[in-house]
Chains A and B, each alone.
Chain A
């Protein structure tokens, strides 16, 4: 584990631990539900990548924005801290964040600053730039954090958004979750640089490579980027190197990697590492963390049950939400 640059309260650290645990259990439950045919559509799990969502959002307020991706359950849960609405949306229920209109890939919660998950790779980046532009124009010190993937860093929108945020000195903290693959294609086949963070230099902003499975490695870099953004000095790029334990989606044959490679990364489990840190630094006792684990399991189980028990959206209102004025009969 990296040493933290500053001292964090016990509450902050336990919050991060709790959220990581919730995301892990949420994703495992979703995976099980998918296998039990309780979920439809694509379900992209972020197991193994929980530290990034949990750490970054812990330093943000509700009026700081994020944008998210198709692999966005973790971002949505961490920003909203609302397991029920997230699970209900996964099941397409009326009680979900998007009333069943969005599903797994489109979790969104404007009240908590989540401008939405986007199923177009790189689609959220220009939106994040727009959110930050609004924050700057309103003379706030708020920031916007677009989460995106290594794959998105090859989209034109990534480069265009980096440039615009830099030239306008917008409070954007680009957080690239580099999990090594665009579905099946390894980053070595798709990306011209080893470290995506070096692309920051092309747009005259700081670029950081961090260990995405290490809470303090993430926090140390994010604190610097956050200070710079809140001070109005402009954007930064953080590349968090991590790994997804599951396939691209549930049902991925995973022809592009070996079991050994996956097992090696599982040894670097971000939750396990953070738990050991908390124990060895006597921030929390074993039984306290066990209690958190149990509560997280109960919360996730309750959220799943809530989703199961929730009503289906009424097909009679299928057009609701198409227009501000309501549905047009066309």
Chain B
């Protein structure tokens, strides 16, 4: 076990997997000498050389597409998008090619591609560099969507992603790169997809959140505890596949669900979870599920405005109390 940052945890798994499998290689903007603008590929050029750590031109649609092609003939490319906002520039290659290729070709091809990069608020990057894309990707059949919230999950889920034979979009969060946590040293350590993590046990209300909002949900849980409310906090970890069983089981116990995320509230992944819980545990609900998420507003540059768009800890507390009729 070592204490690592989220960024280093990712870098180390990339290195371990490149050592293990010659087919694993990296492509992306500023990933070679620069080591990625968030340092997730730092020093990999020195160990693996410029053939396996490739700087690309600023041509997202093209270099993601090159990853799709290489994967379809047996390579295991890990392609970095500097900002997940740039995913939209490569959307054709991701949703029309990578996601659909195997199905359209009658199940005769594998596309073991990982597209990874970071998203989210935290650096005042305004509308085109702060978005959350995971909910949108959940709507595309053929992709897996992974959302690590801790250094250990980043490491364990990335290894699973690289070894997965399907296209995986591995979404990191820029504001988590510097967070530290214990990560197993075992080069085989992995976290399976489709297994939600009950981060904190409670009995009165179930709060589901990820990324920064896992931490904020835990903060909210502390505040709620002072008011005699015991909150269970669950991190879904992967959105495709999504482990609703763990969440449903929790709601059977608590009778109340609050979902929270930085992504926009409308059609955010919390909407899907709320719908599934309502379908699977309707009679256990003691209140309608509450969804907490960003307003349907472009992420503004100004910090005060940004805070007005994304949820705050107080919003989570309020939602939890509202489903407990404790307003």
Contact = CB atoms under 8 A, between A and B. Distances in A.
Contacts of B62: 156
Contacts of B29: 182-183, 185
Contact of B301 (A101, A120, A156): A101
B305 A190 contact: no
A162 to B, nearest CB: 15
Contacts, number: 123
B302 A322 contact: no
A131 interface: no
A102 B126 contact: yes
Contacts of A328: 296
Interface string B101-145: 000000000000000000000011111110000000000000000
Contacts of B295: 318-319
Contact of A155 (B34, B59, B123, B298): B59
Nearest to A321: B298
Contact of B304 (A121, A184, A185, A315): A315
A102 B301 contact: yes
B121 to A, nearest CB: 11
Which are the 5 A-B pairs with shortest beta-carbon distances?
A103-B301, A92-B302, A41-B124, A40-B124, A154-B57
B48 interface: no
Nearest to A156: B61
A100 B302 contact: yes
21 contacts: A40-B124, A40-B301, A41-B123, A41-B301, A100-B300, A100-B302, A102-B126, A105-B129, A119-B126, A154-B57, A154-B58, A156-B61, A189-B32, A312-B304, A313-B300, A315-B305, A315-B308, A318-B300, A318-B308, A319-B296, A322-B297
B314 to A, nearest CB: 14
A172 to B, nearest CB: 21
Interface string A316-330: 001100100001101
Contacts of A93: 302
Interface in B19-45: 29-30, 32-34, 37
B125 A41 contact: yes
B212 interface: no
Interface string B189-209: 000000000000000000000
Contact of A255 (B34, B55, B309): B34
Residue in A151, A152, A185 whose Cβ sees the most chain B Cβ within 10 Å: A185
B308 to A, nearest CB: 4
A191 interface: yes
B2 interface: no
Contact of A182 (B58, B61, B124): B58
A256 interface: yes
A151 B58 contact: yes
B57 A119 contact: no
Contact of B303 (A40, A120, A182): A40
A220 interface: no
Contacts of A121: 58
A42 interface: yes
A33 to B, nearest CB: 13
A329 to B, nearest CB: 9
A122 B304 CA distance: 30
Interface of A: 40-42, 92-93, 100-106, 118-122, 151-152, 154-156, 182-185, 189-191, 255-256, 312-313, 315, 318-319, 322, 327-328, 330
Nearest to B85: A120
A184 B309 contact: no
Contacts of A106: 126-128, 301
Contact of A190 (B34, B58, B127): B58
Given A183-B29, A183-B30, A318-B308, A190 B55 contact: yes
Contacts of A105: 126, 128-129
A154 to B, nearest CB: 4
Contacts of B86: 120
B276 to A, nearest CB: 22
A100 B89 contact: no
A44 to B, nearest CB: 12
B58 A152 contact: yes
Given A101-B298, A190-B55, A184 B34 contact: yes
A184 B308 CA distance: 34
A136 to B, nearest CB: 28
A154 B59 contact: yes
A121 to B, nearest CB: 5
Contacts of B56: 190
A318 B58 contact: no
A180 to B, nearest CB: 14
B34 A103 contact: no
Given A92-B301, A183-B30, A319-B297, A42 B57 contact: no
Contacts of B296: 319, 322, 328, 330
Contacts of A41: 123-126, 301
A258 B59 CA distance: 27
A185 B301 CA distance: 27
A318 B57 contact: no
B266 interface: yes
Interface in B196-229: none
Contacts of A322: 296-298
B307 interface: yes
Interface string B75-92: 000000000011001000
A328 B265 CA distance: 14
Residue in A156, A315, A328 whose Cβ sees the most chain B Cβ within 10 Å: A315
Given A155-B59, A190-B58, A318-B297, 11 more contacts: A101-B127, A101-B305, A102-B127, A102-B301, A103-B302, A105-B126, A106-B127, A189-B55, A191-B57, A313-B304, A315-B308
